[in-house]
Amino acid sequence: MPALTALLHGPDSPGIVARTASWIFQNGGNILHADQHRDAGADVFIQRIEWQPAAGHDADAEGAQFGEYAASLGLHAKIARGDERPRVAVLVSKQGHAFHDLMLRWTAGELPCDIAFVASNHTVWEAAAREHYRVPFFHIPVAPERKHEAEARLAALAREHDVNLLVMARYMQVLSGDFLLRLCPAPVINIHHSFLPAFAGAKPYHQAHERGVKLIGATAHYATPVLDDGPIIHQAVSPITHRHSVEDLVRLGQDLEKQVLAQAVRWHLQNRVLAYGKKTVVFE
């Protein structure tokens, strides 16, 4: 019997924790882990609760019933089974450090998912995807005047392969609002090579060098129609000095990018990230 995990959020009210725990107890379940947070400024209650259903219970039916109960409390609920392996599509352009890091972690069993396919606007990583990692590869050229066609093909592939998550592993294309809001069937995680909200957009390491900053960073966030403005999942920084060149910043930053993206993807796959408004709560 797989465990169930619920991510809940909604207006705060007295007794929510007791009510959700009581529902699980009354249905014979055993709570394995529970954590909650109250966003006082927004008056939003947020909870992650994981439990083992009673022997003989139908996990899908129990998850649906708990979701209905949560709705009666005014809560939005996302329910996941512990034995699910989400299907992930990895998007990459010419820089392969984040792509290879994700794929190596996946082959080592660190990421609880199945890689449905790799897609790119270039062919440089086709042999690696097909021959080394043994996953399907799709080359989707992106011409400025035909970008909508490229996005439509990517969305069709995601639906065809039942993708639950798209990961932009330094995929150097700006996904349109139409793709993210209408065409894409799954959330998208992006890695941006700066400590957002500083230095959004192109060439952030060059921007950082020009400003003489003392820290550089990397940010994994959910992609939204506004460039580099989506809810932040994870960030990390590295100290730098005036002696570092742009090339040094790129090298240091790429190490950060790999670590930050992998952790953000792992937390998402483990159902530890709840996005609401313009931010997230991550239950570590």
Contact 279, 232 (CB under 8 A): yes
**∠ CA(259), CA(264), CA(266), 5° rounding?**
95
Residue 197 confidence (pLDDT) above 80 = no
The answer to whether the bond into 197 is cis (omega within 30° of 0) is: yes
Determine whether domain 4-81 maps to CATH 3.30.70.260. Answer: yes
Domains of the chain, residue spans: 4-81, 87-282
Q: Among the listed ranges 4-18, 121-135, 207-221, which one has the minimum average pLDDT value?
A: 207-221
Q: Is the pLDDT of residue 211 over 90?
A: no
* pLDDT tens string 41-56: 889 999 999 999 999 9
Of 58, 83, 228, 255, which is the active-site residue?
228
- Of 1 and 274, the structure prediction assigns the larger pLDDT to 274
Q: What DSSP string describes 85-116?
A: --EEEEEE-S--HHHHHHHHHHHTT-S-SEEE
In this structure, CATH architecture of domain 87-282: 3-Layer(aba) Sandwich (3.40)
| Residue 125 pLDDT greater than 90, yes or no | yes
Lowest average pLDDT, out of 42-56, 82-96, 194-208, 246-260, goes to: 194-208
pLDDT at 121 over 90: yes
Active site residue 228: yes
Residue 202 main-chain phi, psi, to 5 deg: -80, 155
Mean pLDDT, residues 152-173 taken together = 97
Given a cut of 90, whether residue 208 has pLDDT beyond it is no
Q: Percent of the chain scored above 90 by pLDDT?
A: 80
